[in-house]
């Protein structure tokens, strides 16, 4: 299915199922189905509400927000329950050795809140950041409020902007989304270059914070090592 056909499918789904389609598609994106474009779904529904096509922008937002929360929290649960074992088992196939896995674990335990918040606004990363937060045992009590706040901002900004701007918002907001993806891609490349140049130093920091063999850790382990 091409991109145009997929967008047409989303439009038809919203036209047929309304708020249920908004809720379901955004939940699916949160589950990890990265090919479901959450931004496109939200924008299309908000534009339809603005055009008076039997949708209310208030109910569009009320359907979108719990949909994102359901998807993200389910993904977090799956990550917390099975993610660490899957990453440890299959990580080497994508060049994630034990030291790299421990370093990613350290990042989520130390800087999980900003990673989760920023990840909500980045296409593709949005579909996986909840799973990774769970897999790296970021506490749910810290994940849940940050994810809820980020989702509220994301739904509000994209939904209200599309409703106010109407049809012209499609290219504008999707352009903004691509711009954020571009900024993230550049930041990721620069971060990767820095990581490769200082790899051993960064591993040493993670090993000091999370001493011992690779295993599920908690923030308490980092505090105990300081």
- Return the domain boundaries, the chain: 3-225
How far, in Å, CA of 138 to CA of 2, rounded? 37
Which residues have a Cβ under 8 Å from the Cβ of 45 and sit 6 or more positions away? 14, 21, 22, 55, 60, 63, 64, 159
State the pLDDT at residue 166: 78
State the pLDDT at residue 34: 67
- Which pTM value belongs to this model? 0.87
| Largest CA-CA distance found in the chain, in angstroms, rounded | 60
How far, in Å, CA of 122 to CA of 130, rounded? 13
Cα separations in angstroms, 36 against 69, 93, 224: 16, 26, 41
Question: Which residue bears the tokens 């040493």?
Answer: 204
Tokens of 69: 């929360």
**Range of weakest confidence among 94-103, 106-115, 121-130, 166-175:** 166-175
How far, in Å, CA of 181 to CA of 99, rounded? 28
∠ Cα 182 115 173 (to 5°): 40
Cβ atoms of residues 10 and 37 within 8 Å: yes
What's the residue count for the chain?
A: 226
- Helix axis angle for 3-17 and 38-50, nearest 10°, is 50
Q: Once rounded to an integer, what is the mean pLDDT over residues 54-59? A: 89
Q: Once rounded to an integer, what is the mean pLDDT over residues 60-87? A: 94
State the pLDDT at residue 4: 52
Using DSSP, state whether 56 is helix, strand or coil: coil
State the pLDDT at residue 125: 84
């Amino acid at each position: 299915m091409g991109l145009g056909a997929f967008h047409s499918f989303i439009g038809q789904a919203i036209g047929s199922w309304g708020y249920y389609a908004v809720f379901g598609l955004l939940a699916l994106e949160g589950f990890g189905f990265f090919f479901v474009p959450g931004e496109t779904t939200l924008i299309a529904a908000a534009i339809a509400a603005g055009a008076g096509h039997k949708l209310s922008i208030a109910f569009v937002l009320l359907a979108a927000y719990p949909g994102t929360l359901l998807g993200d929290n389910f993904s977090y649960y799956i990550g917390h329950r099975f993610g660490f074992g899957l990453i440890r088992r299959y990580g080497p196939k994508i060049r994630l050795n034990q030291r790299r896995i421990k370093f990613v674990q350290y990042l989520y335990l130390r800087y999980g809140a900003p990673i989760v918040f920023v990840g909500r606004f980045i296409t593709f990363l949005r579909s996986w950041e909840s799973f990774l937060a769970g897999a790296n045992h970021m506490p749910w009590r810290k994940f849940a409020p940050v994810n809820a706040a980020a989702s509220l901002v994301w739904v509000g900004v994209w939904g209200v902007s599309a409703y106010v701007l109407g049809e012209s918002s499609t290219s504008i907001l999707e352009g903004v989304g691509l711009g954020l993806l571009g900024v993230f891609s550049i930041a990721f490349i620069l971060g990767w270059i820095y990581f490769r140049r200082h790899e051993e130093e960064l591993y040493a920091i993670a090993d000091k914070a999370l001493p011992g063999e690779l295993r599920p850790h908690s923030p308490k382990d980092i505090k105990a090592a300081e």
